[in-house]
Amino acid sequence: MTKEFNLEEKDRIIEMAWEDRTPFEAIEYQFAINESEVIELMRTELKPSSFRLWRKRVNSGVSQKHLRKRNPEIERFRCSRQRTISHNKISKR
């Protein structure tokens, strides 16, 4: 992986990768890393058993990590009730 992340950024990427409804495109939009780089980060940061569990979950039909698997009517990356995030910081309302 070419880009270096601090601890908070790595933590947020891992959190987003574990969430079923957060597509890889949202991670790429926010952190400028593609799916293969997310997989590489997960491989280095997680225990081997946790990584295998995550990969199995992402590759199964349960996860909607790819926009092509999602309902085509959904065009947003976040819930309408979610607080606004800008540059990985939660904005005040």
Residues 41, 33 contacting (CB under 8 angstroms): yes
| 33-66: pLDDT as tens digits | 999 999 999 999 999 999 999 998 888 765 566 6
**What is the per-residue pLDDT for 93?**
46
Whole-model pTM? 0.66
Distances (CA, A) of 81 to 77, 78, 93: 12, 8, 12
- What one-letter code names the amino acid at 84? T
In this prediction, residue 10 has a pLDDT band, given cuts at 50, 70 and 90, of very high
